[in-house]
A and B are shown apart, each in its own frame.
Chain A
């Protein structure tokens, strides 16, 4: 067969046209694919934007939650606010002795300070306090239903619609209310108490709405016990431990079977044991406090002290179980 060379460039003997209809179709396809890709890009952008917004929102929420712990703090030299009203987040206020209180979200706490100490009126919500054990500050939390007196502790008070819950994290608090048995209760670590109003209506007690009075109007016998405990505390802090014995003994004499008497006996025991150094009287006081009935936290401590004191005594004088 005869060979016929192909001219260069080879395209001269090839088809080089493209039907316009095909060109149109491919152009339209390219344009619509481009538009679809743009729409996909927009969708991706929106999705990424939403994801970024979600990340940002969680960051802000996380930071807001984190702020609970580092909420605005009133330091030693700043004046205490008269009212703490919280919104969606909690607020912590630190006292100059290291004690602090934290108002829960949507709470209102009115703070009054005078020579007698600090009085917190919980109008709504809840408050948690940690009081420095060595502090000379006397803190009282008032609600419509109960008054919580700090002995040296960490605890919370939450005011509900028709009740008040007091929870003790560690230490000891005294709760006074006409709505609880004997009018007073001692709470130690891990214990909580719900105070509810019961029918028939008892005599009115000091309420938050009554904050114009600097001091609430407690029943006379409660005031005596409080005053005696306060006097004993003050005398101890003043370096006169022997003088502190008398007010505690008066409580024991006035209400020999009450929880106040148990606490007074326990306090006496610690005074004899730790400060005065009279083991016999310390043993007697601890045994008496246990026989009246101590809250579980204090009872453990009283028992441990009795065992320690017994080990230092003669074998023929055993400690009561």
Chain B
């Protein structure tokens, strides 16, 4: 529910953040004065507004629109990067960094309707920075700390996953670790996150042919070790 009212000095925006199964908090935002007339805004406007509208409003300085964008993509970015990095704390950092970049560069987005692939591309780029940093630290003799990964695939399984599926997820996680970073990244974006091939190519900043080759190479490795339901005919 979104309710906006303009009073003497400022405008109040009262909005809700919808999230499947989560609570519905209210946000009160101090906004630039737009006038004295009170008006009701269509309920759920913030949730239903297309990306292009939110981008236009956020670019004009609407903090509520910024918040709406963040809430729309926070979970996607967080889980994507957590599963790529196998680390929830690092994923939180990446989410924060990603949205700082988004906030800074939103005005330069040429096609506002392409917000989702753009955000995913930024998030993947940040995750790849982390991969490179880990490699460098390993090369310098500073390996990862003794902390166990808290976002391995089997640990991310939903309540509905059966024990057998959890076992397969553990196998999948193990086999993905044996892949090169770029191959694993492409395969995970395609088969774990379910992105279109074009979105995978965009997120990996690579050509379509390249990501297809990477996915195929990873697929032939994974399918010999893990039972997967279905085959990707596009690749």
Contact = CB atoms under 8 A, between A and B. Distances in A.
B192 interface: yes
A199 interface: no
A8 B168 contact: no
Interface string B189-206: 011111000000000000
Interface stretch (B31-39, B130-138, B224-232): B224-232
Contacts of A18: 19, 74-75, 78-79
Interface string A149-182: 0000000000000000000000000000000000
A29 B103 CA distance: 13
Interface stretch (B7-15, B40-48, B94-102, B108-116): B94-102
Interface stretch (A9-17, A69-77, A105-113): A9-17
B73 to A, nearest CB: 10
B74 A13 contact: no
A18 B74 CA distance: 8
Contacts of A4: 162, 164-165, 168, 227
Interface stretch (B139-147, B151-159, B177-185): B151-159
Contacts of B165: 4, 6, 13
A227 interface: no
B1 interface: no
A240 interface: no
Nearest to A20: B22
Contact of B157 (A13, A19, A30, A34): A13
Given A6-B172, A17-B75, A20-B22, A33 B100 contact: yes
A3 interface: yes
B168 A30 contact: no
A12 B217 CA distance: 23
A23 B17 contact: yes
Given A14-B156, A18-B75, A7 B229 contact: yes
Nearest to B25: A20
B192 A30 contact: no
Most chain B beta carbons < 10 A, residue from A3, A8, A10, A17: A10
B161 A13 contact: yes
A30 B78 CA distance: 14
B150 interface: no
8 contacts: A1-B164, A5-B168, A6-B228, A7-B230, A13-B160, A17-B22, A26-B95, A29-B96
A-B interface, 8 closest residue pairs, ranked by CB to CB distance from nearest: A9-B194, A4-B164, A5-B229, A18-B75, A5-B227, A10-B192, A13-B161, A20-B22
